[in-house]
Structure 1
Amino acid sequence: MGDEGAEHGGFTGRVVLVTGAGSGIGAAVARGLAARGAEAVVLADVDGPAAESVAKGLGAGRAVTLDVTDAGQVDRVFDEVLRRHGRLDVVVHAAGVDDPTVKQWLADAVLAGRPPEVTARLDDEAWRRVMRVNLDGTFHVLRAALRAMRPNGSGAVVTFGSSAAFDALTGYPHYVAAKAGVHALSQSVAKEAIAFGVRVNTVAPGPTETGMAAHTPAVLREGFADPRVRPYATPEEIADVALFLASDAAANLVGAVLLANGGRFTA
């Protein structure tokens, strides 16, 4: 990512919070916001030391430990930001999880040349874990963001869905359902929030080189390789989409879900 703040409208003087900021796309977003002039960048992650490591490289960065599945924790972090800075201008909610166990089941099926069998084997806890982090966590963050931003009559929130919610992946029902829920939730909230000057939009990435992708079995990664489209995105490329949505340059975008999947398909 370049340092040209004007490209994305700039974030000079703004107070921003990024979840999932300890690695991958969230870390890239935090770095981009700092490079574009943010006054304060709060890096939140369930892995506090990882967030602290990223924050050390940012003059405006400060790390907090945050489990987005815990509504009380989310509210406390947002309240603390308001106490310290008096306002909150931008929230980018990049925290999320996938399911490595199910990915291995899918890989095993491919290698054995048989259809995957996931839904009948998926237990309640695996379903709830993906839903708690990806969908419940998004609700907790959206709710807290609106509570923080409404009094000032302005703000921008960016959530993260997935291209998988459009091109539903075989044998990945909990992840697909959670991300489709993120899209619908964000769009519903966007239509409500804009009346109070708060914009909500969503990025729907395709395959991206993150820590989660690094644990994807090789046979599944090969399945995403296609010489007709772009390769896996870098975290910085996806972060640039989020930074655009969070900036004044996207002032007329409300409830948008932007596909960033390298041309694998269009919705």
Structure 2
Amino acid sequence: MTVAQQGRFAGKVAVVTGAASGIGAAVARQLAAEGARRVHVVDLAQEAAQRVAAEIGGAAHGVDVADPDAVRSLFAEIMTGDGRVDVVVHAAGIDDPVAKEHIYEAAETGEPVDVLSRLEDSTWRRIHAVNLDGTFHILRESVRAMRPGGGGAIVTVGSSAAFDTLVGYPHYASSKAAVHALSQSVAKEVIHFGIRVNTVAPGPVDTAMAARTPESVRTRMNEGAAIGYATAEQLSESITYLASDQASNVVGAVLLSNGGRFTV
């Protein structure tokens, strides 16, 4: 049987964060379906991660990516058990449902959006701790694990909100813009070790996170000529392309996957 018949990820050991639901779960399923020897399903929601892992024959890990020690222990455990890491997809991230409610209130009353003046320090820090610091922790440990094996592929999940910022979402937009810059800087550094780093920047995706978006805001996002909300499976196709050998010459890219809402 050829590698093409086995799948693009035949024999690979993969790590997917945020894999208990949404984009991460779709990626974990696709990696397993395309031949990955083991898929490590990583999420703060451990029980949900265990369900996805059981479905695909993977291994579940309950980890908060904002905790550097937890991420370090995760990769140490994986290296002890599997001896290598070939593919890492970092899909873990959070938004702010409270800010979404403020946006909803403004849409309903016709008043200007007022999020910044009500934004708590703790919320600002948590958004960046998960979205930005978590990306740093995953990138660092991924590179440490991949270098001895001669390389690998890492895909981070940013957001089109880094370019087309949503009014009332300064903390989310800034955290994702930083993810893009961080990933591209690391990409230039680690390609010399045979490690490719790329980023997918989704527009609206129909996930549990998106379900918290007020309907008035969702309606505005679906207006115009652009394709509306994407599915998690559509994002998975973009992500697994970047993680595969088909993208062997793609390094430091930020792939817009937003249905034509805008280009850069």
TM-score band, normalised by the shorter chain? over 0.9
Measure the CA separation in 2 of the matches of 1:164 and 1:133. 16
Amino acid at match of 1:85: D
Per-residue deviation at 1:78? 0.5
2:110 counterpart (113, 118, 141):
113
Measure the CA separation in 1 of the matches of 2:149 and 2:70. 23
Measure the CA separation in 2 of the matches of 1:103 and 1:215. 8
Query: What are the ranges of 5 or more consecutive residues in structure 1 without an aligned counterpart?
Result: none
Q: What residue in structure 2 maps to residue 77 of structure 1?
A: 74
Q: What residue in structure 2 maps to residue 30 of structure 1?
A: 28
1:15 aligns with 2:9: no
2:128 counterpart (128, 131, 137):
131
1:160 counterpart (143, 157, 162):
157
Per-residue deviation at 1:42? 0.4
SS in 2 for 1:175: helix
Q: In the TM superposition, what whole-angstrom CA distance separates every residue of 1:53-80 from its partner, at most 9, and x where no partner exists? A: 1111113x11111100100000100011
Please give the TM-score of this superposition, normalised by the length of structure 1: 0.96
Measure the CA separation in 1 of the matches of 2:166 and 2:211. 18
1:50 aligns with 2:53: no
Q: What residue in structure 1 maps to residue 199 of structure 2?
A: 202
SS in 2 for 1:44: strand
Per-residue deviation at 1:231? 1.7
Q: In the TM superposition, what whole-angstrom CA distance separates every residue of 1:36-61 from its partner, at most 9, and x where no partner exists? A: 000000000000000001111113x1
1:91 aligns with 2:88: yes
Contact 2:100-2:212 within 8 A present in 1 as well? no
Per-residue deviation at 1:179? 0.1
Q: In the TM superposition, what whole-angstrom CA distance separates every residue of 1:171-214 from its partner, at most 9, and x where no partner exists? A: 11000000000000000000001010000000000000000011
Per-residue deviation at 1:115? 1.2
SS in 2 for 1:171: coil
1:212 aligns with 2:225: no
Q: What residue in structure 2 maps to residue 104 of structure 1?
A: 101
Query: What are the ranges of 5 or more consecutive residues in structure 2 without an aligned counterpart?
Result: none
Amino acid at match of 1:254: V
Measure the CA separation in 1 of the matches of 2:131 and 2:34. 28
2:243 counterpart (237, 242, 246):
246
SS in 2 for 1:56: helix
Measure the CA separation in 2 of the matches of 1:227 and 1:181. 28
Deviating runs (4+, > 3 A) in structure 1?
Answer: none
Amino acid at match of 1:222: T
The two structures, once aligned, show a CA RMSD in angstroms of 1.4
Contact 2:205-2:229 within 8 A present in 1 as well? yes
Q: What residue in structure 1 maps to residue 190 of structure 2?
A: 193
Aligned residue pairs total 262
Per-residue deviation at 1:25? 0.2
Per-residue deviation at 1:6? 4.3
Q: In the TM superposition, what whole-angstrom CA distance separates every residue of 1:201-242 from its partner, at most 9, and x where no partner exists? A: 000000000000111111111111125121200000001110
Contact 2:184-2:198 within 8 A present in 1 as well? yes
Per-residue deviation at 1:28? 0.1
Q: What residue in structure 2 maps to residue 260 of structure 1?
A: 257
Measure the CA separation in 2 of the matches of 1:250 and 1:6. 15
1:67 counterpart (64, 67, 84):
64
Q: How does 1:228-239 map to 2 (within 5 A)?
A: 228-239=225-236
Measure the CA separation in 1 of the matches of 2:164 and 2:227. 17
Measure the CA separation in 2 of the matches of 1:220 and 1:134. 22
Measure the CA separation in 2 of the matches of 1:237 and 1:141. 23
